[in-house]
Amino acid sequence: MKNSSYSHGKKVIWLLFFVLFLLHQDFWWWDESALVFGFLPVGLAFHASFSIACALLGWAAIKFAWPHKLEQFAEGEINEGVEKR
């Protein structure tokens, strides 16, 4: 993967991470006790869906932001040196 698309992928993943963090604070359903499918409280249903979204984000991070260079460094394919940070 080219450096620019890797860097772009990383930024999108960070953005999605931040969006998910905000969605986690679901104050809009705080007092709600209605049941989804007749048994699942809406607050719990939302957070269970949130867990699925986390798994999808993990998949996207592996697909678009996998640290190939770090892997190569560990396997000895890249020489050491100080990165710019």
Partner 1 sequence: MTTLVVIIFYLCLLLGLGFLSSRLFRGTSKDYFVASHSIGPFLLLMSVFGTTMTAFALVGSTGKSFERGIGTYGLMASISGLVHAGIFFLVGIRLWAFGKKHGYITQIQFFRSRFDSDRLGYLLFPILVLLVVPYLLIGIIGAGKTIEPVTAGAFTEIFTNPSAPQWLGGIPPWLTGLVVSLVVLTYVFMGGSRGAAYANTFQTIVFMVMGLVAFVYIINGLGGLEQAGKVPARINDAGVLVQDYKFDRKAGELQKNEPPKPIGKVLNSKNSNLTNKQPHLSRTPVLIEFKKKHPKTGEISFFERELGIPFITFVSYFFIPLSVGMFPHLFQHWLTAKSAKAFRLTVIAHPLCIMVVWVPCVLVGAWASGVLPPGIPPPAVLSAMLKLLVGDPILTGLLTAGVLAAIMSSLDSQFLCLGTMFTNDIVVHRAGTKKYTDKQVIMIARLFIVLIVALTYVLAMWAKDANVFDLAIWCFSGFSALFPVVFAALYWKRATKHGAVASIISALLSWLYFFHLSGYGGEMVIGPGIIPAAVCFMVATIALIGVSLLTKPPSEETLKKFFPRG
Residue 22 · residue 39 · CB < 8 Å:
no
Question: In the chain, which ranges are continuous DSSP H helix?
Answer: 3-24, 42-65, 68-74
Q: Is 85 in the site for partner 1 (CB under 8 A)?
A: yes
CB of 15 to partner 1, least distance (A): 13
Please, what is the Cα angle at 6 between 2 and 85, to 5 degrees?
110
x/- track of binding to partner 1 for residues 5-24 (CB under 8 A): ------------x--xx--x
CB of 11 to partner 1, least distance (A): 14
Q: Is 77 in the site for partner 1 (CB under 8 A)?
A: no
